[in-house]
Amino acid sequence: MPVFLTSCFSVKYRKPGEFSEEPLYVSMEDYPKVDGSTSAQPLQVIVACYFLKTDYEWISTGPRDVKRLVAVSKENPKTAAFIHDHIIHNGTHEAYVNLIERKVDLILVERAPSQDEIDLAKKKNTGFVIKPVALDAYSTKAYAVVRTRQCRKCKAYRLFQWMVSEEGQELVEKIGYVPVH
């Protein structure tokens, strides 16, 4: 498997209660398809920036001076554009539907699935693996969610596990969220 050193970042991958020497490399070429709650978008962008080694900043978007977190990079504008184009959050319900229908591989959301989303997952013969990854300023939990039958070696599942690892929780705390572990 090729390693793209110019656009990836190596971190130690830790399962809860276990240490693996195998680093997690995530590049633009194999970054998982993601979705989520609009309120979890900043966390998702920061995780992408962390792995793709680029900066981020809050910018004003729209007439009401609404702030949005975006990737920025003068050194590698392609990376910033990739994050802008691929880290899209359609809202919680749509994110669950996209995960169930296999349009995305990982979601960050602010709530557990609704009964309608659980019923749809059963109908599509899948389910969810859900782990809390952070608390925001309002003590609302952010959850990382993948499908139950998702490959455990794929980038999405490994990124999901990394978010609850010690290193992932250190990033959560560093960026102003409250770690949950």
149 is a domain residue: yes
DSSP assignment, residue 178? B
CA distance 148 to 71: 31
Q: Which residues pair with 130 in a beta bridge?
A: 145
Torsion of CA 113, 173, 68, 97, to 10 degrees: -20
CA distance 73 to 96: 31
37 is a domain residue: yes
CA distance 128 to 130: 6
1 is a domain residue: no
Quick one: pLDDT at residue 19?
A: 37
**Which one-letter amino acid corresponds to residue 17?**
G
pTM (predicted TM-score): 0.82
DSSP assignment, residue 112? P
| Closest listed residue to residue 37, CA positions, set 93, 83, 113 | 93
180 is a domain residue: no
Quick one: pLDDT at residue 22?
A: 58
Question: Are 106 and 89 spatial neighbours (Cβ–Cβ below 8 Å)?
Answer: no
Q: Tens-digit pLDDT profile for the chain (181 aa)?
A: 222 222 222 333 333 333 344 568 899 999 999 999 998 999 999 999 999 999 999 888 777 777 888 999 999 899 999 999 999 999 999 999 999 999 999 999 999 999 999 999 999 999 999 999 999 877 789 999 999 888 878 899 999 999 999 999 999 998 888 888 7
Quick one: pLDDT at residue 69?
A: 87
35 is a domain residue: yes
Quick one: pLDDT at residue 136?
A: 80
The CATH number of the domain where 39 resides is what?
3.40.190.10
3 is a domain residue: no
Look at the chain and report how many structural domains it folds into: 1
Residue 120 half-sphere exposure, CB side, CA atoms within 13 Å? 16
Listed in sequence order, the residues at least 6 apart from 155 whose beta carbon sits closer than 8 Å to its beta carbon are 26, 30, 31, 32, 105
69 is a domain residue: yes
2 is a domain residue: no
Angle, alpha carbons 173-178-180 (nearest 5°) = 105
Quick one: pLDDT at residue 175?
A: 87
Domain interval for residue 109 = 9-174
